[in-house]
Amino acid sequence: MKILDDIPVHLDVEQVLKELHLNERKEQFDVVRKLVEIANSVIQPKVIYEISYVDNKNEDRVDIGGIKFTSRVLRINLDKVGKVFPFIMTIGKELEDRMASFDNLLEQYYLDEIGNVALGLIGNYLEEHLKREYRMGQLSSMYPGMGDLQDWPIAQQEQLFSLFGNVEELIGVKLTPSMLMIPRKSESGIYFPTEVEFLSCQICSRERCKERHAPYNKELAESYRGK
């Protein structure tokens, strides 16, 4: 088990403006710059990950680190994979605490989106760390509750967390009874080596998702469903 807590994440005003689909008009730039400065001063990135081995693969289940996961898509993606990297990452709770102190709803929204950008940077850092540390080529990832297929239900967050023990004690992330994570700007999943990049967006038909990173591929989605 590895914990990364010295992650050099620095938010850039121009990058945040782009992610928010804003221009650089002075009034917008000044507001975003102020919020980015706040975010850079309070976010506390932490990652925990594990090297786990894959076993007992059948049609819609696979064992990872001795824990059973039920997902046809996950099993297909790990069909020729022996080693994977389960992970949990967070920007910490401090940005949420600051957000709650703002009365301006627009600034709250901007801070929330800035938190998403920070979480994405942590994910990029973790992926590059895994490639460098373990001499991996291309990596893809999956996470419980992904997309609209309900193939890997969010309820299996519990199994994923069980791979690490007391995650709240280790990096400050806990699960609610509905299996959502606190702090909210946290993410969990599994990185795995792959020859062809897999993006969950490719098999998610939810058209208006603002987090979409790849177009929906109906043929690919149906291949995972076994149609």
- Condensed to tens digits (0 to 9), the pLDDT of residues 148-167 reads 557 889 999 999 999 999 99
pLDDT above 70 coverage of the chain, percent: 85
Residue 119 token pair: 């979480």
pLDDT of residue 127: 96
At 172 the three-state DSSP class reads: coil
DSSP secondary-structure letter at 156? G
Residue 55 token pair: 């076993």
Can you tell me the mean pLDDT for 110-138? 95
Considering only 28-32, 124-128, 147-151, 167-171, which range has the smallest mean pLDDT? 147-151
- In terms of Cα–Cα distance, which of 99, 110, 71, 69 is closest to 86? 69
Pairing label, strands 83-90, 46-49:
antiparallel
Please, which residues have CB within 8 angstroms of residue 117's CB and are 6 or more apart in sequence?
11, 15, 16, 19
> 18: pLDDT confidence band, cut at 50, 70 and 90?
confident
pLDDT of residue 44: 95
Considering only 96-110, 157-171, 173-187, 197-211, which range has the smallest mean pLDDT? 197-211
Could you tell me the domains of the chain? Answer: 2-225 (3.40.109.40)
> 221: pLDDT confidence band, cut at 50, 70 and 90?
low
Can you tell me the mean pLDDT for 190-203? 73
Span 46-94, pLDDT tens digits: 999 999 999 999 888 999 999 999 998 899 889 889 999 999 999 999 9
Can you tell me the mean pLDDT for 25-53? 92
- Please spell the DSSP secondary structure of 48-113, one letter per residue: EE--EEEE---SSEEEETTEEEE-HHHHHHTTT--EEEEEEEE--SHHHHHHHT---HHHHHHHHH
pTM of the model: 0.86
Considering only 10-19, 76-85, 157-166, 211-220, which range has the smallest mean pLDDT? 211-220
